[in-house]
Structures are given as structure tokens and as C-alpha cells.
Amino acid sequence: MEKILFKHIDTPDQNKIETYMANGGYTALPKALKEYKPEELVEMVKKSGLRGRGGAGFPAGVKWSFLPKGTDRPVYLIVNADESEPGTFKDRQLLEYDPHQTLEGTIISAYAINCHDAFIYFRGEFAYAAKVMERCIEEATEKGFIGKNILDSGYDLNVHIFRGGGAYICGEETSLMESIEGWRALSRQKPPFPAGEGLWRCPTIINNVETLSNVPHIVNKGAEWFASIGTEKSTGTKIYCLSGHVNRPGNYELEMGVNLKELIYEYGGGILDDRPLKAVIPGGSSTPVLKADEIDVKMDFESLAAKGTMLGSAGVIVMHDGTCMVSALHRLIHFYEHESCGKCTPCREGTNWMQKILTRMIRGEGKPEDVDLLFDIASNVIGNTVCPLGDAAAMPVMSFVEKFRDEFDNICNGGKPKGTLKFPFK
């Protein structure tokens, strides 16, 4: 398969505008501005079937069409470069090595939704990526791709860089907007949805870096071409992030719907030290875990949903037989407890309580009834919170306990954790 987003990821200096243009960059932008009206681009993206790569898989063109028609309020576009879901590291590579691709996608998408101020929100730790993008914006402005009257089209656009401060919750769209507005990033109750009332209560579209990076290619090669790649309902390619106990970790751009087993054993070179596989988290830490015998599954939105899990951000975390599932879950819950914004009780208290239980389990102080208690708390958090972080914390807990119950029971009945993860926190 020919790569789309990663075609030039290893080309030296691809993050400079000359190289990007020599490799066919910034050809989609003039085409979009001259040949299409904004609403035609929205239709094109709809027809391509492009779905959000940030986690939920919502069709991008459909989201764009939710914007109010003929509004006199400013419309904002936010590029979500907060990438903080454990196991996910694709956006960083796109932004460091081929940032103009994302920027060109941003400019075209902004034009399509009549936006004149776009924001790229980087997680605070991505200082290098933000610096690179700052230079890219200057380069693109010099060439007349950003600013007033872009390529004589009469269209104006500013692109602003915003940097977060180390909070996972800022990846959630409403928290992210609170953060840009300068507040503590507490999630907002939805509705209203951002397309109606977003940044500064104005209509706002927010999309992931990888989602928008596809847009120039769709403009250049057409919606039908894009829709012909992948599966019927999950079109295009996907960047799968492979980490954990695997021989060749890294990012792999493959068609939507690649088999998970093939991804791990062929692309990833199999399990570290040739050990037996124990479990795989398929879509970032928030998605339900799969057991070793459940990985003969296609990596697309529908196929994973049919297996009771999710494609999410496609952060595939591989664990071999030496992994203590109780300790592994403890790491994840420690994360969610730390990142809960604290706005709603089930998430704030639930993550804290689950963390306490798991800590006592790995210290060998768990009681036999703790396993049911842990599951019960998670099942009372899920579906009962303001934003999906609560679900994101509950899903790993429920799936770990359901699928590896014997390990939890063992530890709570005086057995030892048998993994290599060491110090419990707090």
C-alpha cells in the first residue's frame, strides 16, 4: 500500500517549506481555493468518509456541516495537538517531521468552514513541535498561504499557536476551549456542542492533527480515491502506534482494517524475547483490553466495536506473559486519578477510590471482596460523568477485571504479583 501521511516522513528537511513543496506540498491549497466553494469542500470531505482520528471516529465532514448557516459570529477551527492518551505518539511524529502537511490541511479546512482564526493547541511538553510549527507558519505566511487575501482568493486566515500545561483533560474538546480561554480546564456539559457554541461561545470545529492532515490529499486525489482505501465504513489509512513488549515498536501507517495480529507479529516483529503474548490494549489506554486469543481482529472502528472494544487513537499496547495485570491497571488508574479535572463526583471520587484499592492490592493488602468492589465502582462511574474521561477510566478497569479475574483474586488472597513493575505510587 502506498503511504499517504507518512509518504515523506523520512525525507530529510521535509519540515521546511521548500522540501515540502518540492514533494508536491501546497498544491491542494490553490486547487481548493480556486476550484471549490467552501460548501463543496465540506461535501467532498463528507463523501470521502474521513472519520476523526482523535478517538471517537466521528465523520469530519458531517461535523463541519453542523455549523450554523450564515452566522454573523466568528467561526473558529481548533487543531487538537494535545496528544496525551497513553500509548499514542503519532501526532508528534506528523508535527515534527511533516508539519506543513498538517498546516496545509488546517488552512483548507478553515476555508471550508469560513473560519478566519485557527488555533493549533499543542500539549505543553511538545515544545519542539510547537517551535517547528511557529517557523512553518512564518514560512507559509511569507509565501502568501496564510494572512490576508490568500493567493488572491479574497480569503483571510490567521493561524495561532497555543500551548497547554501538562493536563490530559485538555485533549477533551470542551476542556481544551476552556484552556485557550485562560481558565482551569474543567470540561463543559454538552449540549451545547462546540459547532454551535464553542470557543468564546462562538461556532467552533475541533479536529485531530491526523484527521486534518488527510485533507490536502483528499482535495488532490478526490473523495472516491480516499473512500476506496480501508474498509467500507472506516476509510483511508490509519497511523497505528505500537508500543510495549514488541520487537519493533513505532508508528505504522497502514490501511484501516489491518489485522491486529498481523500488525503485531509482521510489522511489529513479534513479541519481545519471543515470549507468549498475554494481552493487548488496541486503541490507547482508555480502550478495553483484549486477551491474546482475541487479537485476530481488524483494526477499524466497526470491527473493534464488535469485539467490545474501540479503535480509539490506535495506540496499541502489547503485554507479554510476564506482565502483572494488577500492576498494569494500577499504572493506568494512577494516570486517570491524576488527570481527572475534578468537576464531577463519580469521576473525581471514583478514580481516587479505585486507585486506593489497586494500590493496596499491589502492596499485598487487598481483601478478597476488593475485586468486586473495584468492578462495582467502575460500573457506577461509566456513563455517569460530565465528560468521557470517567468512561475512559472505567473501561480499562472493567475489562481487566473481567478478563483477568484470576490474577486479581490471586493477589487479594495473599498471592504475589508476578510482574516486573515495581514501586507503587502514593
Residue 410 partner contact from ligand FMN, ligand SF4, other proteins, none using kind-dependent CB cut-offs of 5 to 8 Å: none
149 and 141 Cβ atoms separated by less than 8 Å? no
- Residue nearer to ligand FMN on the CB measure, 108 or 206: 206
Mask: binding to other proteins, 330-349, rule CB under 8 A, as x and -? -xx--x--xx----------
162 and 180 Cβ atoms separated by less than 8 Å? yes
Bridge partners (DSSP) of residue 237 are 255
Residue 13 partner contact from ligand SF4, ligand FMN, other proteins, none using kind-dependent CB cut-offs of 5 to 8 Å: none
- Residue nearer to ligand FMN on the CB measure, 327 or 355: 355
Binding segment toward ligand SF4, per CB under 6 A, in 18-26, 92-100, 117-125, 341-349: 341-349
- Alpha-carbon distance 95 to 132, whole Å? 8
343 binding ligand SF4? (CB under 6 A): yes
> What are the angstrom distances between the C-alpha of 420 and each of 11, 171, 416?
39, 31, 12
Binding segment toward other proteins, per CB under 8 A, in 102-110, 164-172, 205-213, 370-378: 164-172
Bridge partners (DSSP) of residue 204 are 76
169 binding ligand SF4? (CB under 6 A): yes
316 and 279 Cβ atoms separated by less than 8 Å? no
Q: Whose CB is nearest to ligand SF4?
A: 347
Stretch 357-396 residues interacting with ligand SF4 (CB under 6 A): 385-387, 389-390
Bridge partners (DSSP) of residue 122 are 81, 163
Residue 423 partner contact from ligand FMN, other proteins, ligand SF4, none using kind-dependent CB cut-offs of 5 to 8 Å: other proteins
- Residue nearer to ligand FMN on the CB measure, 257 or 315: 315
Kindly report the backbone phi and psi dihedral angles of residue 76, in degrees, each rounded to the nearest multiple of 5, phi listed first. -110, 150
Kindly report the backbone phi and psi dihedral angles of residue 362, in degrees, each rounded to the nearest multiple of 5, phi listed first. -75, -15
Residue 80 partner contact from ligand SF4, other proteins, ligand FMN, none using kind-dependent CB cut-offs of 5 to 8 Å: ligand FMN
171 binding ligand SF4? (CB under 6 A): no
- Alpha-carbon distance 251 to 316, whole Å? 10
65 and 42 Cβ atoms separated by less than 8 Å? yes
| Least distance from ligand SF4 to the Cβ atom of residue 382, Å | 10
234 binding other proteins? (CB under 8 A): no
Cβ neighbours around 424 below 10 Å, total:
16
- Alpha-carbon distance 202 to 177, whole Å? 11
HSE value, Cβ hemisphere, 13 Å, CA-based, for 152:
1
> Which DSSP state fits 263?
I
Mask: binding to other proteins, 235-264, rule CB under 8 A, as x and -? ------xxxxx---xxx-------------
Contacts to ligand FMN by CB under 6 A: 52-56, 58, 60, 80, 82-85, 169, 171-173, 206-208, 211, 387-389, 392
> What are the angstrom distances between the C-alpha of 355 and each of 173, 348, 366?
26, 11, 12
Residue 150 in 3-state DSSP? helix
- Alpha-carbon distance 315 to 6, whole Å? 17
> Which DSSP state fits 237?
E
- Residue nearer to ligand FMN on the CB measure, 179 or 208: 208
- Residue nearer to ligand SF4 on the CB measure, 250 or 342: 342
| Least distance from ligand SF4 to the Cβ atom of residue 316, Å | 24
**E strand intervals along 86-236:** 117-122, 158-163, 204-208
Binding segment toward other proteins, per CB under 8 A, in 4-12, 81-89, 101-109, 136-144: 81-89
- Length of the chain as a residue count: 426
Q: What is the dihedral of CA 53, 55, 58, 61, to 10 degrees?
A: -30
- Residue nearer to other proteins on the CB measure, 83 or 104: 83
Binding segment toward ligand SF4, per CB under 6 A, in 140-148, 258-266, 313-321, 343-351: 343-351
Is the alpha carbon torsion for 285, 81, 57, 10 positive or negative?
negative
- Residue nearer to other proteins on the CB measure, 107 or 130: 130
Residues that bind other proteins (CB under 8 A): 83-89, 91-92, 123-128, 162-168, 179-185, 200, 241-245, 249-251, 281, 285, 315, 317, 319, 323, 328, 331-332, 335, 338-339, 420-423, 425
Residues that bind ligand SF4 (CB under 6 A): 169, 187, 340-344, 347-348, 385-387, 389-390
